[in-house]
Structure 1
């Protein structure tokens, strides 16, 4: 199992399966009527909450809970929109077939997701679809995760933009490719570190503009290698078998050179 760090330590949390019994609780058809915004009752409650007039402590607590539920529902809708945009133009993906439109210029399409989809589907018995890429809220500081049992997780409350979603999706799809293409033991720290190095290097999350303007790291020399090493170490640090920061850095250093130069399925570092 693997996860993509945002700016803090990630976790290696499994992605829960989404079945009829535990479908996304933030889907629009599962939100209580009292949470629906735009109606007079919602605005009455909002005004009463802001002015601290006409609301009992219990009603204030309920409004805060409803407001949080509404926020999570909005995050889920946005996450699924960004996910579907990246998937709908990804070669043979079912969403590509369903939503393909001439209204969207081809220059706006993220080719990295399309390329990874094609290569995963060459070795996977089924197509890559939204059924194995789920948007859910995350309690830990991560933007996504991968589980061999359940698929890819997109953390709906951590994604900042469609581009950030593309980078996160690409990162987790590289983990999926590694799992399908190689004999990966995710409980082996060296295996985990190698896949994290490859995912950080090839997904685009360590490009200079993301590092500089997104994270404030203004390193003009070997910034890519430094970013890959730092983010891989953060991910390995969250592994249950990792003892501490020193242990994580040691494991990453042991496999860095060979894994950093392995760019499969790309011919070279994509961006």
Structure 2
């Protein structure tokens, strides 16, 4: 989820930062997903690099990977459901700010258009899709083709994936670079960073560094960040209380992580309350930032 989406739904989703890693792709590299086998062309590799340099972090680092640093909603994995999912199986926020990442599914904004068939192949063998038969290769009578011949054919899908990439680029520029720089020595330049970030998953940390970066833009941004923190503290307390009633041993590590988020929020709140007025950007830039957060 983008930061404005978390701000809008601050009473529904616990926010965090998710850090994952993406290997740099090379021409001639063979990728196999399920039954789909693809050898990367020079243009495929160049398109992957372009997306990596625009949306990801750490280009040229010694680990040979890009790092993805994004805002994300957090909940107990044992619940196996989105907090916005209603009992009837429908999305409660579909008409009031459904996250773009949800709208992009089943495509992947971090893959170039020429490789979206690999994203679909991966989805088709995922546990959530087994038996659904809603993603299939080839043409089907009465069905429009989503991707083919290295292009996204569906106009609505092209529009939403472009919008999601735009939002990721905004996040990268407005707070991502600052947060990556602040964590670089401690995390991203560390010898053991690849061991701490699972190859097929992500590392969750507090979203407080992003809030501190945002709050420094203007007084309005600081107030938005404080409002968000107060809502998050109440939501985390509620989440942990519900977990205690469930009495599941496998949920204890996640309760500890949520308590860690609360502690980070409290430290960030104290810093924001006692800090000097933000060093305001030029008015036009600050207004653009504030408009983005409120979007």
TM-score by length of 1: 0.33
Larger strand proportion of the pair: 2
TM-score by length of 2: 0.31
